[in-house]
Homo-oligomer: A and B are copies of this chain.
Amino acid sequence: MTVDRDQVLRTAAALLTRKATATMDEVARAAGIGRATLHRHFAGREALVRALEELGIRELEGALDKARLDEGDASDALRRMVAEVEPVAGLLAFLVTENQLFEGEQMNAGWARIDARVSVLFKRGQERGEFRIDLTPAWLTEALYGLIGAGAWAVQDGRVAAKDFQYMIAELLLGGVRRSVEK
């Protein structure tokens, strides 16, 4: 009887990932609950998005944990990261564009933590001599988000195959499009 708050959140995430402008009513129906009940658990769309942000941050940090970014080759760590992040890619894309809208307000501290961890990976790769040093970790982090978002949308719209998601992103980011001598 009692609503499973986490289940509602995940349903909302799945819906908003597909249709970012879905109304509270649509979210409620998708979750199989009444609009009033949705409001009882999340005081308004704002609060819902914030809760989704918390969820996304939590899952992302979990993914980064599992990826063990500080172990072994930076390249392998990057591949592990992309693999672990894949299930959250759609939600990540939604939250990134959502954050893009609310320019003024300060962002959730979780994003800073995540940015820092990803940045550190790129820096580690540079210090190990694995990664080139003419591209800043900050840009590489942004680029990673951009590629993940592009990949998630491309998969969603059927422009690329879901099974290629990890490979496409990780290998493009690692090696670029140019044919390289090492391979």
A interface, CB within 8 angstroms of B: 18-21, 75, 78, 97, 100-101, 103, 122, 125, 129-132, 134-136, 138-140, 142-143, 145-147, 149-151, 153-154, 157, 159-160, 164, 167-168, 171-182
Chain B nearest CB from A142 CB (Å) reads 4
Q: Which residues of B contact A151 (CB under 8 A)?
A: 139, 142-143, 146
A177 in contact with B146 (CB, 8 Å): no
Q: List 6 A-B contacts (CB under 8 A).
A: A21-B101, A100-B153, A130-B178, A130-B179, A131-B177, A143-B172
Chain B nearest CB from A149 CB (Å) reads 6
How often does this chain occur in the complex, in copies? 2
Q: Provide the bound-state CA to CA distance between A130 and B19, in Å.
A: 38
Nearest-CB residue, chain B, relative to A181: B181
Q: Which residues of B contact A132 (CB under 8 A)?
A: 175, 177-180
Q: Provide the bound-state CA to CA distance between A78 and B176, in Å.
A: 12
Known A97-B97, A143-B147; judge A168-B21 contact (CB<8 A). no
Q: Provide the bound-state CA to CA distance between A176 and B144, in Å.
A: 11
Q: Which residues of B contact A21 (CB under 8 A)?
A: 101
